[in-house]
Structure 1
Amino acid sequence: MSAEEVSIVRVGAGSFATAYVWQSYNSVVLKKVAEPLQNDVLLREYNRLQALYPQVGNELLFKVPKAMEHFPSYSFFPAGFKDNKQSFVARIYLGKDCTEPKRFFNPLNFPLDANRLSQLEVGVPIAEIARDMGRLLSRIHFKAGFDGRDIEFVLGGHQSNPLRKIGFYCFDFNQLRTWKSAQDLVDSFLANDPYYPRPGHEYWDDFRTGYLLEAANGEKDTEIAEEVLSLLVSRLKQ
């Protein structure tokens, strides 16, 4: 296998697509759909990411990828490329306790709750992680106008260089929708994996502070943001 081929590293996969990092091309991320018929969905994600990226900024802890180009085929992969079947990201679940022992362990899909994050000593206070998670979600809602459905918040590093600084990322935008009401935003929040802290749990206040901070630029946005948080409290008490 050539150096070109081994420089493409698999970082995650789902039912829709697999993501790779092309290390020799300034760590460009490639997303390959599972089925060619899903290419239209990938194109829609590309277009929505193009619209979203300028609105969310790049100064927050979590980075959103910039969509560079859409390819309708897999022709850009080296001919001899073989999927290495490994992933090097971990999902940040501040809304779930993952410490209960399980019979099966999947190292390719490893969730990080607050307890595991604290043991990793990632160099960023968990309160800041929760706050910036709220800030980014709020920007997606009120600046970009999307509901944030099925987005992921992850921690990533580099398996060949453990000393390299780890990074916090937000990706997977293929299910984004525009929204019309606070209820739409609540439904998307609850449909996602438990990335966000829940009301009454540790770090909820930090998440809430970040979410409201980014909505404070407009009176209407602030009202909707407060309604979203209030509805979440009500729904999760049921």
Structure 2
Amino acid sequence: MLSWCGNILSTPPAARANHIEVGRGQCGTVLALNDTDSVVKIPNSPAKEDELFTDYQIHYSVYSTLAPLSSVNISVPRPEAWITRGSTIWFSTASCFPKGIPSIPNYGLISKRILSVPLCFREDIVDLLCPKAIKTIKTKFLARHENNDCLVRLYLGRRSCTSHREAGNIRLRNFPLHVNEMKRLGLRPERYAVTMAQTLAFLHWKVGIDANDVEFVLGGGHLCQRFEYHADDEAGCKEVMKKLVEGFWFNDPYYPRPTATDEGDKKLWGVFVEHYLKTSAEHVSHQGPKEFIEAVVEKGKQRSESSLFSS
């Protein structure tokens, strides 16, 4: 996962002892290890073992590339180990797992945990963004397990109002924070647009992944497919560019959108493009980054036209 090192997280909450599930995806389930600041991700089924191992390899590659950089205000949790089947290390930590899991796989990956945003920030989410029905039960709402482990997803590409949502559907775990709500919490969208652009450029042209399903959170992404870009291979370049564009549009709306109609959102897109191209130029000299931006814009137009015809 990717997370921000911001002022609001300068004093992270202490890792607390628990035996709980803190996340679940298509590939694996994330469990907090008792009395540690680490998590273990185990496959949801034996068929997911290879996919999870690939996840670990990419995670390690991303960490190795981004961790030493001081120019990008981003933090990648350190991958600690891939535990193979039958490892004795695994059995020494087995007591840390939640009770009631019928069969714990004896393989998986261990990494540092992204801890929750501070309580004061969670309180601000309730006070400034949530509907009245939640504000009236603020203490009880914040005490719920699913609201203690709060990571905030930064959606620069979507406008919405949490206050208009059904109270029963709101959880603070993986909380979607939309671009129009950020300033109410004292956050500057421009800052995140710069960091997302720089990070995406690093992932594309330094690490060599399409960044599909990467997550940007206050408190991180699950990374996927590796690729190699050869500027002299026209057919290969087209296939790679398709993957990059899909990685941009098929992900959650973290990045600013080229199709934005709000003036502030248009400026965010301009900031994103400027810093993506600037950072990319530090790593490659070919036209791939420029072609990526052009392809994203074109795909955005197609999506907008398709939406108009279907409405």
Query: Would you say 1:28 and 2:87 are equivalent positions?
Result: no
Residue 61 of structure 1: which of 73, 76, 88 is its match?
Answer: 73
Question: Which residues in structure 2 correspond to 1:152-231 (within 5 Å)?
Answer: 152-156=215-219, 169=220, 171-173=221-223, 175-180=224-229, 181=237, 182-201=241-260, 202=265, 203-221=268-286, 223-231=287-295
8 A Cα contact 2:63 2:76, kept in partner: yes
Higher relative contact order (CA 8 A, sep 6+): 1
C-alpha distance in 1, partners of 2:97/2:217? 30
Task: Give the Cα–Cα distance (whole angstroms) in 2 for the partners of residues 89 and 11 of structure 1.
Answer: 10
Is the Cα contact below 8 Å between 1:90 and 1:154 reproduced in 2?
A: yes
Displacement of 1:21 in angstroms is 4.3
Q: Secondary structure at the match of 2:81?
A: coil
Question: What TM-score results when the alignment is normalised by the length of structure 2?
Answer: 0.62
Does the 8 Å CA contact 1:7/1:23 hold for their aligned counterparts? yes
Q: 1: CA distance between counterparts of 2:97 and 2:259?
A: 52
Which deviates the most, 36-45 or 14-23?
14-23
Give 2:207's aligned residue.
Answer: 144
Task: Tell me the CA shift for residue 35 of structure 1.
Answer: 2.1
Equivalent residue of 2:300, what SS? helix
State the Cα deviation string for residues 14-51 of structure 1 (Å, max 9, x = none).
Answer: 232233444733x2232233223312211111112222
**Do residues 14 (structure 1) and 25 (structure 2) align?**
yes
CA RMSD of superposed structures (Å): 2.8
- 5+ residue gaps, structure 2, are 1-14, 101-143, 230-236, 303-311
List alignment gaps of at least 5 residues for structure 1: 157-168
Alignment-mate amino acid for residue 248 of structure 2: F
Instruction: State the shift of 1:227 in Å.
Output: 0.8
Instruction: After TM superposition, give the deviation of residue 127 of structure 1 in Å.
Output: 0.5
- CA offsets per residue over residues 128-165 of structure 1, 9 Å max, x none? 11110110011010001111111111112xxxxxxxxx
Q: Within 2, Cα distance between the matches of 1:105 and 1:186?
A: 31
| Partner Cα separation in structure 1 for residue 16 and residue 176 of structure 2 | 29
**How many residues in Structure 1 have an aligned counterpart in Structure 2?**
217
Match of 1:90 among 152, 155, 165: 152
